[in-house]
Structure 1
Amino acid sequence: MKNIKTFAGSLCLIATITFATLSCKVEDPMLNSVVSPVLVDVVGATFGAPISATASVPTDSSSQEITVASRLFELDKTNILNNEIGIDSIPVSAIALSIKYELTKSVKAEKFTIKGQTYTFTPETYKSSGNWGEITSDGNGLVSLKTSFKKLGFEGNRIQRKGDIIKVTWSGTHKGIAFTRFSQIAVTEK
């Protein structure tokens, strides 16, 4: 009797796992996703950046120059089952990337006094976006652009402060498949 109960319990467990597995394999007709042909590894991003949805690069607010860079890799998965070789990352050269930026900054009304003179910032929401241009990856798969906070519009009442976020979009095409990678520049203070 005990063996029958164990057999019946095992059979129910297998049936439940099979049903759960089959129900998870249903394709979502609303999503038309394609695996990216390249891995865009954002240089300087915090830990977990290649896997996380938005790679964040901390940048000091007093920096005179901002460098935005990434490495492009094609993943060779032919040896994925060989634990001594695994997946190989091959740098991809000559890929044209379009790099865009967007920032939204809300400036609160502030009053402060310096040497007896009172200054007031009026509240405003500032939006800026633009195209940094197109750049082609070099022989090592590296793309790099330099800019400054001033060129991005951080002047006067819009100076960069801790917590400001500049969103960056990397877009390109490889082997006929379009891809986009999102990252951000997170303004910090020393």
Structure 2
Amino acid sequence: MKTAKIFLFVAVALATASCKVDDPFVDRVVAPVLLVFDNAIGDGGGFTTEPTVTSKATGTATVSVRILELDKTNILDYKKGIDSIPVTGLALSLTTRAGVKIADLTTDAKGRAMVTKTWAEFGVAAPKAGSIVSLTLTGKYKEQSFSKLARLQAVN
């Protein structure tokens, strides 16, 4: 009797562990690169789901991002860890969430891409502190497309 209970428990555990349930909400793939925004508020690098980048309401607005590939070769060696390698020559497209193209960008030797435009070119006719533009940055690296959401906010 005891053997039958153990067998039944093991059978149920194996059947439960082997079930694969797909995410019912979002079909997603992990991005092949890490995007780090300059001037992002809140976490000091734009590591949030939708980082907010700040720029002065007077004059031009700037969005700057670094693109890094994470080399995890030495992930188990605490003396070396993960290495961040700048991705150079990567073509990117910056658009508003409505699909209006702001700029086409290419990363430099340090993996940085930057765009400076007037607020009107970002779609804000009369910027004031608190004005926000919702942006999408898209690209393709090693045959894998990626997108990153961000916001541009005017400050004093």
State the TM-score, normalizing by the size of structure 2.
0.79
Residue 22 of structure 2 corresponds to 28
Letter in 1 for 2:122: L
- Does the residue aligned with 1:79 lie in a helix, a strand or coil? coil
- 2:48 counterpart residue number: 52
2:113 to 127, 143, 152: 143
Residue 102 of structure 2 contacts residue 121 of structure 2 at CA under 8 Å; is this kept in 1?
no
Q: Which residue of the other structure, out of 131, 148, 151, is the alignment partner of 1:181?
A: 148
The answer to whether 1:78 aligns with 2:73 is yes
Question: Which one of 94, 98, 103 corresponds to residue 99 of structure 1?
Answer: 94
CA distance in 2, matches of 1:182, 1:76: 24
**Runs of 4+ off more than 6 Å:** none
Q: What is the alpha-carbon distance in structure 2 between the residues aligned to residue 152 and residue 71 of structure 1?
A: 20
Measured after TM superposition, the shift of residue 132 of structure 1 is: 1.7
Which residue identity does 2:57 align to in structure 1? S
User: Which amino acid in 2 is paired with 1:27?
Assistant: V
Distance in 2 between the 1:58 and 1:81 partners?
37
Q: Distance in 1 between matches of 2:82 and 2:46?
A: 15
CA–CA separation in structure 2 for the residues paired with 1:53 and 1:173: 19
Q: 1: distance between equivalents of 2:62 and 2:147?
A: 19
Q: Please tell me whether residue 171 in structure 1 is matched to residue 138 in structure 2.
A: yes
| Distance change >3 Å, CA 151–CA 132, structure 1 → 2 | closer
The one-letter amino acid paired with 2:109 is G
RMSD: 2.5
CA displacement 1:78-100 (0-9 Å, x = unmatched): 11111111111000011110111
2:8 is matched with none
* Unaligned ranges ≥5, structure 1: 1-17, 103-127
Residue 64 of structure 2, aligned match among 58, 61, 69: 69
The Cα of 1:55 is off from its aligned counterpart by 0.9
Give the structure with higher Rg (CA): 1
CA separation of 1:129/1:187 partners in 2, compared to 1, >3 Å: closer, same or farther? farther
Give the share of equivalent positions with the same residue, in percent. 29
